Amino acid sequence: MKLLLFFLIVLSCFIPLKAQEYYKEHIKSEMKRGERSLRLNKIQYPGDDRFDVTYYKLDITIASVAKKKISGNVVVNGKSLADSLQSIYLDLQSVLNVDSVLGKNGKLGFSHLDNKLHINFNSAINLGEEFSIAVYYGGTPGSSGFGSFEFGSHNGAASIYTLSEPYGASDWWPCKDTPADKADSSDVWITCATSLIPVSNGKLIEVVTNPGSTHTYKWKNSYPIANYLISLAISNFVEYEQYFKYSETDSMPVIHYIYPEHFNQVKPELDKTIKMLEIFSEKFGEYPFLKEKYGHAQFGWGGGMEHQTVSSMGFYAFNPSTISHELAHQWFGDKITCKDWHNIWLNEGFATYSEGIYFEALNGKNAYKNFINTEMYYAKLAKGSIYVKNISMVNEIFNSYRSYAKAGIVLHMLRGVLGDSLFFRTLKEYANHPEFSYGVAVTEDFQAVTEKVSGHQLEYFFKQWIYGENFPVYSVYWNYNQQDENNYTVNVHINQSVNSNPAFFSMPIQLRILTQTQDTIITVFNDQQSQSFSFTVRGVPYSLVFDPENWILKEVSVVLSAESDEQKPLEFTLYQNYPNPFNPSTKIKYTIPSSDSPLLGGKRGELITLKVFDILGREVAVLVNEEKAPGVYEVEYTPLNTHHNVSLPGGVYFYQIKVEDYIQTKKMILLR
């Protein structure tokens, strides 16, 4: 699921006022609904644990759009988990009226109190024995959370839809309202006016035309399904069908059900779905519901929801990030479902991170890095642990900073810890795990898969990032001493500010050290609040970059500490550029001696020029032309010919520094 709040903030400066209003109104009504659901004290968790659901069949008629009424029956098949099971309960909101409950041999006694439908069997069910009951009911469905069952409209036509996550399924149908117990399969039959097309999970098996201008659509899902992923979306849709060709000979339909007035506008976005299916199939293993379909059904909520085989999408959700997010949920959320809402990050963190995987596959490393930077910004706003402590509040479960941004960044950090190969093997192994795939999982299950694939002990990682809070704040001090003619000892001291939980973070950290002759990345394992590391490099070190690939959610300050000679250069120096040869850019470092240096004669502020010449001695760039105080400087050179604003050809160039009568020239090579 993805609520488009960020989108609203980012776009509010240039989306039309009407759309802004739509969002504001929408968010207000969301909040109202949230409050109402809490007042109703409807949270029922984790459902009756005396039986295991095996099958649901919903046969629902939209009885009256004007009166917002439904009627129908729901078949629940289950297996007893108790000896001599006399009764069970299903979750069903009390505002709905139950007419009768049928068992194998006729009517069963029931009572419907406090949103629970208690059903008594005529004869006890043995342990492991199967039973089947049918609940006949009707009324106006309740609405909680994000609006579990809505009678809406668009452009004069009805739009009736559901969004049950997390606790809304029992607002409109009797079920065991917990993600922990999946049915092995499900059917949804919907009867409505012939002007409307009802869409649900799985394959459309049959359309029956009834007397009185109604028809019945029979949808069949043959895969395990969590109750909150069973959905309805009903409107006067345009149907747009594509094919995902997943092998030489096989393809799967990708079907979009869109409001007619929006179809032309959203079609270019819909057309990106096939490529996403290719990318995610390669990364996570084959699409989980390949025998059935994928697709989208438009609905009136301001976001997207990953209903199994058919994501429900608001108009503004038709953008690459939300489309890829909901598609990724088909693996992480639908195929593997979080066992409880405490572990919602296994759904939302994975779907959020998958957006980055899509951008990276499509547009490369920089697109990925930009995505990560944005998510890190929001991740830093997260308060409390990713593991949701208070699951009685819908807004706590779906906190966008924690369950989405920070949880997504946890996967980015895990990728940093494991490296690409082990990380992607882990994701694939998890998505296809014999126990968890088409089942449910908690954090420890994912951790176990990660540890098995990688051979690493990762208790520290999950404990601090999933159950802990905040992120490390590092202060890094470094200096160096010369060992001999070529070798230098680099000393790095890493200090972490004291955090609440954990007190400090343990992480492998990459340090990139640049010397005149080397570019080295050293990985240290930082597992103390305050810790020192030393290592030897060749050449004078002139730069230390902490976590150069930005793997870690953090704040950091890096200081070259005062003991280092570097602070007080004694003479003019022009260093060899780095890297060399280079393309597209290189760095040139130079020092201006301090005034107490005998070489400078007590003067402060020198006019410095640093210029680049081609092999024929023609000036091609002026990098510095100003007065500089004593110190160490570095300038980055990206060789455009600054005089003509054209790219320079590859080859040998010279760079020359001039300070009064000090002139020094060095050679560098541009690669093209």
Binding site for Zn ion (CB under 5 A): 1-2, 348, 351
Decide whether 2 or 415 has the Cβ nearer to Zn ion.
Answer: 2
Decide whether 144 or 312 has the Cβ nearer to Zn ion.
Answer: 312
CB of 315 vs Zn ion, minimal distance in Å: 18
Decide whether 232 or 351 has the Cβ nearer to Zn ion.
Answer: 351
Decide whether 218 or 406 has the Cβ nearer to Zn ion.
Answer: 406
Pairing label, strands 640-641, 646-647 = antiparallel
In DSSP terms, which residues pair with 60 in a beta bridge? 72, 190
In DSSP terms, which residues pair with 487 in a beta bridge? 538
CB of 58 vs Zn ion, minimal distance in Å: 23
Q: How many residues does the chain have?
A: 672
Alpha carbons within 13 angstroms on the beta-carbon side of residue 176 total 26
Distance from C-alpha of 299 to C-alpha of 295, rounded to nearest angstrom: 13
Distance from C-alpha of 540 to C-alpha of 563, rounded to nearest angstrom: 15
Alpha-carbon separation of residue 338 from 50, 148, 179, 334, 597 (angstroms): 20, 19, 7, 9, 67
DSSP assignment letter at 126: P
Decide whether 236 or 312 has the Cβ nearer to Zn ion.
Answer: 312
Decide whether 229 or 509 has the Cβ nearer to Zn ion.
Answer: 229
Whether 35 contacts 134, CB under 8 Å: no
Decide whether 351 or 431 has the Cβ nearer to Zn ion.
Answer: 351
The residue whose two tokens read 């400087």 is 633
Decide whether 309 or 510 has the Cβ nearer to Zn ion.
Answer: 309
CB of 410 vs Zn ion, minimal distance in Å: 15
CB of 572 vs Zn ion, minimal distance in Å: 58
The secondary structure of 546-569 as a DSSP string is: ESTT--S--EEEEEE-TTSGGGS-
CB of 354 vs Zn ion, minimal distance in Å: 10
CB of 324 vs Zn ion, minimal distance in Å: 11
CB of 328 vs Zn ion, minimal distance in Å: 8
Burial of 317 from C-beta contacts in 10 A (0-12 / 13-18 / 19+): buried
Alpha-carbon separation of residue 539 from 484, 488, 532, 599 (angstroms): 10, 7, 21, 24
Distance from C-alpha of 638 to C-alpha of 621, rounded to nearest angstrom: 10
Decide whether 70 or 351 has the Cβ nearer to Zn ion.
Answer: 351
CB of 398 vs Zn ion, minimal distance in Å: 8
In DSSP terms, which residues pair with 480 in a beta bridge? 490
CB of 413 vs Zn ion, minimal distance in Å: 20
The strand ranges marked E within 109-200 are 109-113, 116-125, 130-139, 149-154, 157-162, 185-193, 197-199
